[in-house]
Chains A and B, each alone.
Chain A
Amino acid sequence: MPMIEINHLRKEYREGNKAKVALKDLSLELEQGDIFGFIGPNGAGKTTTIKMLATLLIPTAGTASINGINVVEHPEKIRAIVGYMPDFFGVYDDIKVWEYLDFFASAYRLPRDRRPSIIDDVLALTDLTEKKDSYVESLSRGMKQRLCLAKTLVHDPLVMLLDEPASGLDPRARIEIRELLKELQSMGKTIIVSSHILPEMEEFCNKIGIIESGELIVAGDVKTIARSVRGQHNIDVVVLDEIGRAHAILTGMSDVVREVKFVGNRRRSLSDENPDAETQPMERRIEDPSAGGTLQIGYTGEPDEEYRILQVLVQAGVRVKAFYTPETDLEDVFLRVTKGVVS
């Protein structure tokens, strides 16, 4: 039985007399121990989905269940097994760290005599033990995030719903959160983490889902998605000279090569690029067919047959300097699947 099962979940908001769809038809299944990265631009519907799972919003249509319990029918049971951390800190003023945790421990009706030891445990887990008697507002942003996570752990939930746990944190705090999540995964918790920042998700999620405009565009484990998204898979060929001839040879292999693009006279590398520029290189016209340069081919054949292209090129006497598959990272997948809808 999957730990989290979402079927055709939909949420509409009403603003005045206008209906706005925050989430269209989301279906998802997660097993126990999964860390699911929920990625999408702001306003894509991540928070809405998480809030519906946390029983804070009522779905317009569709069903969701956690551990086999329907979210809408038994909200109280769901609340007992779910730990929710909002995208904003959610801390009180004028209160000490241990008092904050004690408040939630008693709110979760943990036995009075067990509360101190549980508080110490979650403080140790989140590395906040020495801050036990500090006031919450004196903590740094990263510490507040960890405190909020500690609060989420007080009642030992099966499933954790973390909305943007790493937003606005410096790299060090981000790494701390990441380590913490890995530790939680090893404790067997199922975690849904949302973020609009990709690199941080790549490292600790075993599954990701990309959402845009309320639609889940892809979901699955990172590798499967990369493969399915590519469809064609890019190979960069760097030649020393005679690029015109290489282009002609490659274009002739239309059974396995869909397109051939001249992308520049130099070998492309990520560090060359302006971060604001488009990730995908622009296609250019070959001005000097005898010069060297980089060609990007869209390969559609079997993954293990790539060498045949190299073989053909080498046999034809083309001086190939490099032949490689550029790394497809999450960022690339994300940009490929999202359309960049501008409101």
Chain B
Amino acid sequence: MPFNAANLIDNPVLTRELRVRMRGARAYWILAGYIGMLAVLVLIRYYNFWSDTQAMGSGGSNAAEVGHELFLWIALPQIFLVFFITPAITSGAITIEREQQTLDLLVMTHVAKRTIITGKLLSAVAFSALLIISSVPLMSICFMLGGTAPVQIFTFYMEMIAGSVTIGAMGLMWSSVAKSTTYAVIATYATLFVLMLVVLIVPSVSRSNGTGTASLVILSFEQTLTGNYFLGYKLVDGVGLAALCTIFGVLMAAMATARLETYPERKGYIPRILTLLMVLIPFTSMAAWWYDAWYNKRFAAAGLNALPPIGCMCLPAGMIMLLTPIFSTGSLEPEQARQFFRSLLRGWKPSALRYGSLTSAPAFLAWLVLASAALYVGVFAAKGSAKSAFRSGGLALGQPGQPPPAPLVIPCKPGEACSAQGSTVTVAHPDGSSEAASVVPNGQVQVLKTFTNGRSSITFMRAWPANIPRLPVIPPQGPPPPTGDLVQGIVSLVAAILGFSLFCMSLTALFRTRWLAMLAAYVLVFTTSLAPEIALQTNRGGTTLSAWINLFYLNPMEPFVQICEPASYWDQRTLLFGLTPMWLGVTIVWCAIGVVSLILLLFCTRQIARSADSAIEYLPATPVKAARRSVRPTQ
């Protein structure tokens, strides 16, 4: 269809949606309920302020403080309201049309598919914008009391509208994918819930608890979301969030558009390309932030241990692991089942990737991993040295020019200062004297006492002195065990993704329904990521580790965590393969799972091919009352 500027304005879908949206009482009731709820909140807070002023005079309460508080009282419920109302509109936008059979009629017209999606999205955003803007009069009370800058309120409204675009687009995406409105609504709210959990709750938990790689990954993600950095460039506050929201909104809307295209089964590559971008864009942004933080020593400012940038590889590792079941389950076509291994190999060809067949899933996911690795190296190259990307683990060991690992902070008595360097624990007493204890190779404990007058003494003891806190586990002597580096990490990630993808495919072949296979795969993912962590946490200080801890070998993020923290990684973990580097363990375990899955697939696909050959079923026909006679037409 030729491009026509008039068509941009003349959007029949938008026109119809807008005509219908405000028709009848429903929209007004929603609006009234929404404003009413906000008004009640404002009244409650304002009444408190008023009664305080009455009781204690004008000085009783800080108006500016109340103004800011009032802003939060209006803003926070609004975030929840808008983020719950917008997906309710969009998650049914396409499924309802499909259910009332208008979608076929609509896609058969000359309207471009993107026009349909834009129309649906804009009409939903227009409604949530109406809700948002209708709260402006309430917001004006904040100006009366002060305490909130106009820019702040403006930014808030901008972010709200950007956020409703993203969430609306997400609802549309699920609506275009799901079979019925019910499924679309469930999927949308489930995604929203997970998103809220990730964006709001996890960072606050991780901030209060620990300085490990996991919390840093989350911190960097949060920083790229809410901070003023985007793709490694410093910008105005909130821009990162708005930019990511917009990009994700556009990508998800594009995904919905792809589903409406003529013969979507021929365009399997479009969702794949969009998925690729959805993984790579936040990853690039995060890698850039991490690089910047490392080289500009921003971790110290954040009160965190310095960790090398390789830690950010955890993001693509986790995301691709979560995406694997989606791409690796589905129905196996009989032609593919007949020549399963050949089609698995053919999946690596660009043409197979284009059509998006099931057997090309392992190849696609492996390419996704390699693309993330390439981007990681690319960020280093853009900042000056591509080579240092390949010795990311080496950076952790404090190579020349790099910051040394910061001393470990350990608990000690009030008034004393404790620190640990390697296996040596030093206690500085308030009077200026200090004691340092460490284990020497013969197993004895060497205690070095430094007195206030500058003199010192060394004593050897059989046991650790009681007045010096001890490290949870005394780390092994010498250089830390081998960890591998970027290349090894990528190898293990590719092995894990391939193994998991094959595993998911064998689940599909076994269960013969996609949803059951997907459910089983996700249960596995969540078990492997949570169970060993729980085993580790519940064991803090104890000596007996439950066997669940070995599930760490199924988590492809662990090699990168180990590369990040080579010295302390083994402190509390006693795994099956001992001190074998995690990348090797992960590779071996996943390769074994992959091989077993392949053997299973071999049997299942043979069966599928055989049943497909023998039993071609016809769609059920309703019985016709007729005599069974042998009269056949003579044609």
**A residues near B, CB below 8 A?**
12-22, 41-45, 51, 54-56, 58, 72, 75-76, 79-80, 82, 84, 86-95, 99, 103-104, 106-109, 112, 151, 155, 212-214, 217-218, 225, 228-229, 231, 276, 278-280, 334-343
Contact = CB atoms under 8 A, between A and B. Distances in A.
B110 A79 contact: yes
A94 B23 CA distance: 7
13 contacts: A41-B623, A54-B104, A58-B265, A79-B108, A80-B110, A90-B100, A107-B110, A109-B7, A218-B633, A276-B625, A278-B625, A334-B626, A336-B629
Nearest to B612: A19
B105 interface: yes
Contact of B619 (A16, A22, A337, A338): A22
A20 B617 contact: yes
Contacts of A89: 100-101
Interface of B: 1, 4, 7, 10, 12-13, 15-16, 19-20, 23-24, 100-102, 104-111, 262-263, 265-266, 331-334, 337, 509, 512-513, 608, 611-612, 615-629, 631-635
A90 B265 CA distance: 24
Contact of A18 (B1, B23, B612): B612
A17 B512 contact: yes
B89 to A, nearest CB: 14
Contact of B621 (A42, A72, A107): A42
B12 A84 contact: no
A339 B612 CA distance: 25
Contacts of A54: 104, 108
B163 to A, nearest CB: 28
B338 to A, nearest CB: 12
A107 B331 CA distance: 35
A337 B627 CA distance: 10
B24 A94 contact: yes
B106 A88 contact: no
A91 B100 contact: yes
B617 to A, nearest CB: 5
A43 B622 contact: yes
B541 to A, nearest CB: 51
A66 B322 CA distance: 45
Given A58-B266, A89-B101, A343 B620 contact: yes
A244 to B, nearest CB: 27
Contacts of B608: 17
Contact of B108 (A16, A55, A213): A55
Nearest to A343: B620
B19 A99 contact: yes
A43 B621 contact: yes
Nearest to A215: B618
A95 B615 CA distance: 47
Contact of A151 (B4, B23, B105): B105
User: Helix, strand, loop or mixed for chain B's interface?
Assistant: loop
A228 B110 CA distance: 43
B1 A76 contact: yes
A228 B626 contact: no
Contacts of A280: 627, 629
Given A75-B262, A94-B20, A218 B635 contact: yes
B456 to A, nearest CB: 77
Contact of A214 (B23, B100, B618, B622): B618
A119 B106 CA distance: 17
Nearest to B334: A19
Nearest to A278: B627
A341 B100 contact: no
Contact of A104 (B104, B105, B337, B513): B105
B104 A107 contact: no
A93 to B, nearest CB: 8
A71 to B, nearest CB: 10
Contacts, number: 181
A19 B617 contact: yes
Instruction: In the A-B complex, list the 9 residue pairs whose CB atoms are closest, starting with the nearest.
Output: A107-B109, A343-B620, A106-B12, A340-B626, A90-B101, A75-B262, A340-B624, A335-B626, A342-B623
Contacts of A90: 100-102, 104-105
Nearest to A18: B617
A20 B23 CA distance: 44
A93 B620 CA distance: 32
A287 B625 CA distance: 30
A343 B618 CA distance: 8
A20 B619 contact: yes
Given A17-B332, A91-B100, A338 B16 contact: no
Contacts of A225: 633
Contacts of A342: 621, 623
A103 B116 CA distance: 12
A326 B593 CA distance: 72
Nearest to B333: A14
Contacts of A45: 619
B394 to A, nearest CB: 49
A338 B620 contact: no
Contacts of A338: 624, 626
Contact of B16 (A14, A99, A343): A99
B561 to A, nearest CB: 39
Contacts of B262: 55, 75-76
A214 B617 CA distance: 11
Contacts of A13: 619
Given A92-B102, A103-B16, 18 more contacts: A19-B334, A41-B621, A42-B621, A55-B262, A79-B110, A94-B23, A95-B16, A99-B16, A107-B111, A109-B7, A217-B633, A218-B635, A334-B626, A335-B624, A336-B631, A340-B624, A340-B625, A343-B622
A41 B105 contact: no
Contact of B618 (A20, A104, A109): A20
B181 to A, nearest CB: 14
Nearest to B103: A90
Contacts of B627: 278-280, 335, 340
Contacts of B333: 14
A19 B20 contact: no
A176 B530 CA distance: 66
Given A95-B19, A340-B626, A228 B618 contact: no
A108 B621 contact: no
Contacts of A337: 631-633
B628 A339 contact: yes
Nearest to B620: A343
Given A18-B617, A43-B620, A75-B262, A92 B625 contact: no
Nearest to B615: A18
Contacts of A21: 616-619
Contacts of B15: 103, 106
Contact of B631 (A86, A87, A231): A231
Nearest to B622: A42
Contact of B512 (A16, A75, A107, A278): A16
Central interface residue in A12, A19, A43, A336, by most chain B CB within 10 Å: A19
A42 B621 CA distance: 6
A230 to B, nearest CB: 9
B16 A228 contact: no
B109 to A, nearest CB: 4
A16 B104 contact: no
Contacts of A214: 618-619
A322 B164 CA distance: 81
Contacts of B19: 95, 99
Contacts of A56: 104, 107-108
Contacts of B334: 17, 19
Given A19-B612, A84-B104, A231-B634, A75 B618 contact: no
B621 A343 contact: yes
A84 B626 CA distance: 32
A72 B612 contact: no
Contact of A79 (B20, B109, B263): B109
Contacts of B13: 107
Contacts of A279: 627
A140 B182 CA distance: 28
